[in-house]
A and B are shown apart, each in its own frame.
Chain A
Amino acid sequence: GNSVTQMEGPVTLSEEAFLTINCTYTATGYPSLFWYVQYPGEGLQLLLKATKADDKGSNKGFEATYRKETTSFHLEKGSVQVSDSAVYFCALIPFNDYKLSFGAGTTVTVRA
């Protein structure tokens, strides 16, 4: 079946630190990969996505590269801010499908 495994949290960082959240997946074929972010009290927002191998998604200083050989889609940001405190979800949609499969989420707290 299709599944997403992401690094367990919580993660606590100081402002301007480097953030990486690991995400690996299991899927048949070539899925599309996503990172969603959930700020406190809000719904999920699409942060970035990649639809084929070696694609790099980027937004708001965050990046993730679709690595087929390692079935990974790790999220990175070079210098985090307090406003990046949120829960981050890695997700996939299998090829020719419509059901998003989510990881359990990683809570990130950035301290000033």
Chain B
Amino acid sequence: NAGVMQNPRHLVRRRGQEARLRCSPMKGHSHVYWYRQLPEEGLKFMVYLQKENIIDESGMPKERFSAEFPKEGPSILRIQQVVRGDSAAYFCASSRGTPDTDTQYFGPGTRLTVL
């Protein structure tokens, strides 16, 4: 049973470009979460999605960031017009049911570097 998949593992972008990060949840999991880990810090919640719905995006920056989890295909975290401060590791997690009862399983992360 494959775990949570994320790609790319490493992404380098210049300031002003767009970054697209992909996450495929574990088989049978319909809940997806994105977290960001800034250097020397713990992970911070960004957004919680179910298929075709954004449930909670309270941790997302108000501008340039968006997320989706379409009916078919992986969840996408999109960062437009990246800036140096966006450099971080972005982790996706998934759970089978709601996370107050089910464990969140994490992917290996995408390390974004903005030059």
Contact = CB atoms under 8 A, between A and B. Distances in A.
A15 to B, nearest CB: 27
A98 B108 contact: no
Contacts of B108: 42-43
Given A89-B42, A98-B33, A103-B42, A43 B106 contact: yes
Interface in B59-115: 59, 91, 93, 98-100, 103-109
A45 B100 contact: no
Contacts, number: 56
Contacts of B98: 98
Contacts of A49: 103
Interface string A76-112: 0000000000000101010111111111110000000
Interface residues of B, number: 26
Interface of A: 4, 32, 36, 42-46, 49, 89, 91, 93, 95-105
Q: Kindly list the 10 A-B residue pairs having the minimum CB-CB distance in the complex, ordered from nearest.
A: A102-B42, A43-B108, A98-B99, A44-B106, A99-B45, A102-B43, A43-B106, A104-B42, A43-B109, A43-B107
Interface of B: 4, 6, 31, 33, 35, 40-45, 48, 56, 59, 91, 93, 98-100, 103-109
Given A43-B4, A43-B6, 12 more contacts: A4-B42, A43-B107, A49-B103, A89-B43, A93-B99, A95-B100, A99-B56, A100-B43, A100-B93, A100-B104, A102-B42, A103-B42
